[in-house]
């Protein structure tokens, strides 16, 4: 008689969901090509009068492992969280995401990608993309004839 493991059903469901979402056979290190996976980080996007703002969630990632590029009308965030296996350690559960995090955004031409500002704080990358000067509202001087 086998002993019932309440976590086995949950793990099997996670495996099936992971395969269905294209993550292969699980979420931990040692999965996929080169032993790591690619993840799309979670993001919040909002707009103000000044421009477009993004908060990209990169928990557990060091700031020197984060790269932001702007090319044509695409803003791309790339980050790495490598798994560094320690000698003599037996890992029983690895649920944290390890590997490459990539997310690209199509940015409309009303925003100026040459002036993106980036700030990294507490595992969150904050990006601000200002409106292009030519798209900002301008007050037009109305001239009156005969005066």
pLDDT in tens, 108-137: 989 999 999 999 999 999 999 999 877 666
We report the CATH number of the domain holding residue 53 as 2.60.40.790
In a domain, 69, yes or no: yes
In a domain, 17, yes or no: no
- The SS3 of residue 18 is helix
pTM: 0.68
pLDDT computed for residue 133 by the predictor: 77
* CA pair distance 106, 11, nearest whole angstrom: 36
pLDDT computed for residue 12 by the predictor: 65
User: What is the per-residue pLDDT across 1-48, written as a single tens digit (0 to 9) for each?
Assistant: 456 666 666 666 666 665 554 444 344 444 443 455 788 999 999 999
Range of the domain at 104: 35-83+96-135
In a domain, 140, yes or no: no
Among the residue ranges 21-35, 67-81, 83-97, the one predicted with the least confidence is 21-35
* CA pair distance 108, 61, nearest whole angstrom: 29
């Amino acid at each position: 008689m086998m002993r019932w493991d309440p976590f086995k059903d949950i793990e099997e469901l996670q495996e099936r969901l992971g395969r269905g979402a294209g993550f292969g056979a699980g979420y931990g290190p040692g999965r996929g090509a080169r032993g790591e996976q690619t993840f799309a980080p979670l993001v919040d996007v909002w707009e103000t009068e000044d421009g477009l703002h993004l908060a990209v969630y990169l928990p557990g990632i060091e700031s020197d492992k984060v790269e932001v590029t702007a090319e044509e009308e695409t803003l791309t965030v790339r980050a790495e969280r490598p798994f560094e296996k320690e000698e003599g350690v037996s890992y029983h559960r690895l649920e944290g995401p390890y590997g490459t995090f990539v997310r690209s955004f199509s940015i409309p031409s009303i925003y100026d990608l040459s002036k993106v500002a980036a700030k990294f704080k507490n595992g969150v990358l904050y990006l601000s993309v200002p409106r292009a000067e030519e798209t900002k509202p301008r007050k037009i001087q109305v001239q009156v004839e005969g005066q």
